[in-house]
Structure 1
Amino acid sequence: MDELVERVDDQDRALGVVVSRRQAVRESWLHRVAVTVCRDERGRILVHRRSEELSRFPGFYEVVVGGAVGVGESYEQAAARELAEELGVRVLPRLLFTFLNRSGLSPHWLGVHEAVAPDTVAADPDEVAWHGWLTEPELRSALLEWRFTPDSHEAFSRYLAFRTAHTSPRADPER
């Protein structure tokens, strides 16, 4: 059964039109997707390889865990649901930012979250063929060598830029 999503406009406002995700992708209609960058207590990042049985990007690696935002769901609710479904992790992810992503199969609004997850996850084998925890330097190397989804590249580069902008010391306004 295909997921139902709400169409949105180029400002991420709901249009009041419900369609199947398959149709939204096929017609390039804007809709919402929620993803989460999972870190462990040591700061490593969860990376996984998608199952070969998936219709979208089978066997590709991902830096994010997520999926479509269902009808009536918020980005945060969808991100939490996807973490529970795909990894068996019950945490509340924190929405960092959204952006209009044109790098996947079709354009969509992408809500990027962050969550601290336990080292041990119960990955759904129908979704996840392999997973592991990588340091940022290991992940940077993997992004150059492994076959990652377009969303992973785009979301992770924006995630790193967001973290840099929000953790760097601010200039002294008196200077």
Structure 2
Amino acid sequence: MGELVERVDDRDEVLAVVGRSEAIRQRWLHRIATIVCRDARGRTLVHRRPAFVFKFRCTGAISPYWLGLHEAVVDGLLTPDPAEIAWYDWLAGDELAALVKHEAFVPDAREAFERYVALQPRP
């Protein structure tokens, strides 16, 4: 069935979970999401993902899919919008490994993290 989306009515009430390609083909109203990143000067972040690390077939919480993991190095001060980001922190390897085991992490993210760590050189 591919990627699943929520088919909704004109009041944004969920009618069913359907395949994205079917929702498009049938022209059904459905939900999608996107993010626009801006800086304090109002500029919009536009990017291309050059730092491809690996991909794997993920079972997925709602359907199987191929997940591509990319990596970026951030050198600079982060100032997330508190209306959008409830919490953030830089975590060391052991702290992150412990946090990823928490039930709040979706299995897909946990699997991606474990595969990423397995590729890292051992000290």
Same fold (TM over 0.5): yes
Change (3 A) 1:159 1:100: same
Pair 1:22-2:14 in alignment:
no
**Deviation (angstroms), 1:119:** 4.7
**Deviation (angstroms), 1:137:** 0.6
**Equivalent residue, structure 2, for 1:63:** none
Partners of 2:84 and 2:52 in 1: CA distance = 23
Contact 1:86 1:124 in 2 (8 A): no
Rg: which structure is higher? Answer: 2
Partners of 1:106 and 1:113 in 2: CA distance = 21
> Aligned AA for 2:100?
L
After superposition, what is the alpha-carbon deviation per residue over 1:81-116, rounded to whole angstroms, capped at 9, x for unaligned? Answer: x6x739987775510111111132222111001111
Length-normalised TM-score, structure 2: 0.55
Structure 1: gaps of 5 or more residues: 1-6, 9-19, 30-54, 56-66, 69-81, 169-175
Contact 1:98 1:112 in 2 (8 A): yes
After superposition, what is the alpha-carbon deviation per residue over 1:5-59, rounded to whole angstroms, capped at 9, x for unaligned? Answer: xx98xxxxxxxxxxx8626x73387xxxxxxxxxxxxxxxxxxxxxxxxx9xxxx
Length-normalised TM-score, structure 1: 0.41
RMSD between superposed Cα atoms in Å: 3.9
Change (3 A) 1:133 1:119: farther
Contact 1:95 1:113 in 2 (8 A): yes
Change (3 A) 1:156 1:108: same
Partners of 2:73 and 2:52 in 1: CA distance = 13
Structure 2: gaps of 5 or more residues: 7-16, 22-30
**Deviation (angstroms), 1:146:** 5.5
Flag the structure with more relative contact order, 1 or 2, with Cα contacts below 8 A and sequence separation at least 6: 1
Pair 1:137-2:86 in alignment:
no
Residue 121 of structure 1: which of 72, 78, 99 is its match? 78
**Equivalent residue, structure 1, for 2:37:** 85
Instruction: Using the aligned pairs only, state the percent identity.
Output: 32
| Higher share of residues assigned strand | 1
- Paired positions, count: 97
| Higher share of residues assigned helix | 1
Partners of 1:157 and 1:26 in 2: CA distance = 30
Partners of 1:115 and 1:106 in 2: CA distance = 27
